[in-house]
C-alpha cells in the first residue's frame, strides 16, 4: 500500500467516525422527540440557534473555498469583476435611496423581525407578540412558536450583532441580498461569456419592478430568490466540473435554501435527484466530504420540528382546501388575464411579459426537439432542471388557496420569474447560443421591464398616521399617502400567506 493510499484511508476513517457522531446525536434528539413529543417545541426553540449557526458556518467555509479554489469564480484582480461590483452596488443604492423602506406585508414581516430579536437577545426562535419594558429591558408576556423557516430571521440577527439592534436591519439585509443576487448573476455569466452579457443580465434582473419592492421590504422573498439562484448555480457548476467540493457546496446551499421558505425543500430534493440520477453527483464525490452529508439529519431537526409543531396553522378557511385542482384552474385563469392586463396596476410589465412568454415557448419547443441551444446533454439537462423547478413553483403556488398573482400580498411571488432572467442571460455559453441569438433572447426575455410606470407604493396600515410597535418596542410610524398612480395599502391584520 502506498503512502498516499494509507493517508486517504486514514482520512476516510476519521470522516467516517465524525459522520457516525453526527448521526448518533441526531438519532438521540429524534428519539427524545418521539418519546417525549411535548418537548419538541422546547428543543426546537432553544436548539435551533446553535444548529443554524453550525450550518451557516460550514456553508461560508465551503462557499469561499469553492469560489476561490476550484475553479476560480472570483478573479479579484480582474477589472471586469470590479466593474460588476460597482454596477451592482450602485443599482442597490438607487433602490435603497429611491424606494421607501417599509414593512409591506403585515404581519409576516414584523413577525420575522420579532424572531430575529429573540435570536439576538435570548438565542431562541420565539415570536414575541406582547411584552413590557422595565428599566430599558424587554420582558415578553406572550410568545408564539414560529411556523416560518428561520434562516432570514437568523441572518437579520447577524446584523443585530454587527451593528446593534434596529427594526430597520431587515431592510439592510434585503439590500445586501439584492447586491449579492445581482453580483452572482454577473459572475455566473461573466465567467462563461463576457462583461457585456454579464451587465446585460444584471440590467434584465433589475428591470423587474417587484425586485425593488422586495429589496425595500422586511420579507424573506429576496433571500429566497438569492439561495434559489445559489442552488441552481451550484447544480450548474456540478454539471460542468463535477468536483467533490462543489458537490458539498451544492448540498449545504440546498439545506440553507430549505430554511428560507416552506416549499424550498421540494426544489432542493428535485435538483439532488436530477444530479444523482444523471451521475453528476456520485458516491466517490460524496465520500470525500462525508461528514457534511452525515450532518444533514442534525441540520434538518429544526425544520422537521417546526413542521410537526405547526401542523394545521395554514390560515385557510375551514371550508377551503389548502391546495386543490379547482384553485389551480381558477388561479391559472387569473394569471393569464394578468399577463394581458395593460392598466399597469401590477408591479410587472405586460408588454415584456408577452414577449418573454413567446421566447419561453420557443425555447421549450427547441428543448423538446433537442435543437439549437439544447443539442448537448448538459445544456438539455440544465434546461430540464430550471424548467422543472419553474413548473413546480407554479403548480404549488397556483393550487394554493391564496395563489393569486394579482393579490396585493401575493404579487411578490411573481419574482420567481426573475430566475428566468438570470439564467436566460447565460444562454450564450451555458447553452452554447451564438452571441447574436443570445442578445435577442436577452432583450425579449424580460418579464419585468423599465416601461412599468405604476404599481405598489408600499403603503401599509389601517389608518393614516397609524403607529405600530414591534416586539422591540420601537415605534414604526406608518402613513398612507395618496399618489396619482395606483398603489396598494396592506392591512395590519393577519395576512393569508403561502
**Would you call 290 exposed, middle or buried from its count of C-beta atoms within 10 A (0-12, 13-18, 19+)?**
buried
Confidence at 6, pLDDT banded by 50, 70, 90 = low
Identify the pLDDT of residue 235.
Answer: 93
More confident residue, 309 or 265: 265
pLDDT higher than threshold 90 for residue 378: no
Mean of pLDDT values over 168-182: 95
pTM here is: 0.81
> Residue 472 domain-assigned?
no
Confidence at 141, pLDDT banded by 50, 70, 90 = confident
> Residue 58 domain-assigned?
yes
> Residue 213 domain-assigned?
yes
pLDDT higher than threshold 70 for residue 124: yes
Identify the pLDDT of residue 274.
Answer: 95
Identify the pLDDT of residue 426.
Answer: 45
Which of 169-178, 230-239, 391-400, 481-490 bottoms out in mean pLDDT, i.e. has the lowest?
481-490
Identify the pLDDT of residue 72.
Answer: 57
CB 352 within 8 A of CB 447: yes
Tell me how long the chain is.
498
> Residue 450 domain-assigned?
no
Identify the pLDDT of residue 17.
Answer: 65
| Integer Cα distance of 53 and 59 in angstroms | 10
Identify the pLDDT of residue 362.
Answer: 87
> Residue 452 domain-assigned?
no
- The domain in which residue 396 lies consists of 11-112+149-162+164-444
Phi, psi of 132, deg, nearest 5: -125, 155
> Residue 384 domain-assigned?
yes
Identify the pLDDT of residue 461.
Answer: 33
pLDDT higher than threshold 80 for residue 175: yes
pLDDT higher than threshold 80 for residue 489: no
Identify the pLDDT of residue 377.
Answer: 83
Mean pLDDT for the chain overall: 77
Identify the pLDDT of residue 70.
Answer: 56
Identify the pLDDT of residue 476.
Answer: 39
> Residue 470 domain-assigned?
no
Identify the pLDDT of residue 353.
Answer: 72
Identify the pLDDT of residue 62.
Answer: 93
More confident residue, 118 or 454: 118
What pLDDT, in 10s, does the model give residues 178-230? 999 999 989 888 877 788 888 988 988 888 788 888 999 999 999 999 999 99
Among 253, 298, 223, CA closest to 44: 298
Confidence at 336, pLDDT banded by 50, 70, 90 = confident
pLDDT higher than threshold 60 for residue 381: yes
Q: Indicate the number of domains in the chain.
A: 1
What pLDDT, in 10s, does the model give residues 32-84? 666 666 778 888 899 899 999 999 999 999 998 887 775 556 667 788 889 99
Identify the pLDDT of residue 443.
Answer: 35
What pLDDT, in 10s, does the model give residues 291-307? 899 888 888 888 888 88
- Give the torsion sign (CA, 139, 47, 214, 96): positive
- What 84-90 contacts at long range (C-beta under 8 Å, 24+ apart), as own/partner pairs, is 84/183, 84/186, 84/187, 84/190, 84/195, 84/198, 84/199, 84/202, 85/183, 87/182, 87/186, 87/199, 87/202, 88/179, 88/182, 88/183, 88/186, 88/202, 89/179
Most confident range (mean pLDDT) of 104-113, 311-320, 460-469 is: 104-113
Identify the pLDDT of residue 15.
Answer: 66
Query: Residues of 331-357 as b/e, b for ≥16 C-beta within 10 angstroms?
Result: beeebeebbeeeebebbbbbebbebbb
> Residue 311 domain-assigned?
yes
Mean of pLDDT values over 248-255: 95
Amino acid at each position: 500500500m502506498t503512502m498516499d493510499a494509507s493517508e486517504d484511508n486514514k482520512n476516510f476513517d476519521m470522516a467516517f467516525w465524525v459522520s457516525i457522531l453526527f448521526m448518533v446525536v441526531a438519532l438521540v434528539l429524534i428519539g427524545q422527540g418521539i418519546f417525549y413529543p411535548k418537548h419538541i417545541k422546547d428543543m426546537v426553540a432553544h436548539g435551533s440557534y446553535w444548529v443554524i449557526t453550525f450550518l451557516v458556518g460550514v456553508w461560508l467555509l465551503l462557499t469561499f473555498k469553492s469560489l476561490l479554489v476550484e475553479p476560480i469564480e472570483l478573479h479579484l484582480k480582474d477589472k471586469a469583476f470590479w466593474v460588476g461590483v460597482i454596477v451592482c452596488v450602485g443599482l442597490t443604492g438607487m433602490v435603497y435611496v429611491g424606494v421607501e423602506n417599509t414593512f409591506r406585508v403585515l404581519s409576516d414581516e414584523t413577525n420575522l423581525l420579532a424572531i430575529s430579536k429573540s435570536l439576538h437577545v435570548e438565542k431562541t426562535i420565539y415570536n414575541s407578540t406582547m411584552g413590557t419594558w422595565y428599566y430599558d429591558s424587554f420582558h415578553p408576556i406572550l410568545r408564539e412558536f414560529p411556523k416560518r423557516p428561520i434562516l432570514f430571521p437568523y441572518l437579520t440577527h447577524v446584523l443585530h450583532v454587527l451593528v446593534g439592534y434596529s427594526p430597520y436591519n431587515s431592510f439592510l439585509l434585503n439590500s445586501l441580498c439584492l447586491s449579492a443576487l445581482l453580483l452572482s448573476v454577473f459572475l455566473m455569466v461573466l465567467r462563461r461569456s463576457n462583461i457585456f452579457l454579464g451587465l446585460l443580465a444584471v440590467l434584465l434582473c433589475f428591470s423587474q419592478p417587484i425586485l425593488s419592492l422586495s429589496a425595500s421590504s422586511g420579507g424573506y422573498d429576496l433571500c429566497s430568490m438569492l439561495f434559489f439562484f445559489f442552488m441552481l448555480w451550484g447544480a450548474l457548476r456540478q454539471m460542468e466540473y463535477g468536483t467533490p467540493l462543489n458537490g458539498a457546496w451544492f448540498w449545504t446551499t440546498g439545506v440553507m435554501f430549505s430554511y428560507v421558505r416552506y416549499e424550498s425543500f421540494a426544489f432542493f430534493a428535485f435538483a439532488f435527484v436530477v444530479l444523482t440520477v444523471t451521475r453528476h453527483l456520485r458516491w466517490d464525490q460524496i465520500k470525500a466530504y462525508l461528514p457534511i452529508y452525515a450532518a444533514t439529519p442534525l441540520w434538518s431537526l429544526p425544520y422537521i420540528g417546526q413542521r410537526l409543531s405547526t401542523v394545521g396553522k395554514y390560515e385557510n378557511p375551514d371550508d377551503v382546501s389548502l391546495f386543490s385542482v379547482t384553485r389551480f384552474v381558477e388561479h391559472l385563469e387569473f394569471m393569464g388575464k394578468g399577463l394581458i392586463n395593460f392598466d399597469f396596476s401590477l408591479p410587472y410589465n405586460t408588454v415584456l411579459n408577452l414577449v418573454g412568454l413567446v421566447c419561453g415557448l420557443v425555447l421549450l419547443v427547441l428543448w423538446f426537439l433537442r435543437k439549437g441551444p439544447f443539442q448537448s446533454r448538459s445544456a438539455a439537462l440544465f434546461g430540464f432542471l430550471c424548467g422543472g423547478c419553474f413548473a413546480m413553483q407554479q403548480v404549488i403556488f397556483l393550487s394554493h388557496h391564496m395563489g393569486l398573482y394579482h393579490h396585493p400580498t401575493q404579487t411578490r411571488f411573481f419574482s420567481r420569474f426573475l430566475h428566468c432572467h438570470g439564467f436566460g442571460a447565460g444562454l450564450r455559453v451555458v447553452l452554447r447560443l451564438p452571441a447574436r441569438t443570445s442578445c435577442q433572447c436577452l432583450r425579449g426575455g424580460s418579464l419585468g421591464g423599465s416601461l412599468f410606470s405604476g404599481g405598489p407604493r408600499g403603503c401599509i396600515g389601517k389608518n393614516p398616521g397609524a403607529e405600530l410597535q414591534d416586539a422591540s418596542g420601537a415605534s414604526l410610524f406608518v402613513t398612507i399617502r395618496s399618489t396619482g398612480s395606483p398603489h396598494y395599502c396592506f392591512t395590519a391584520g393577519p395576512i393569508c400567506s403561502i
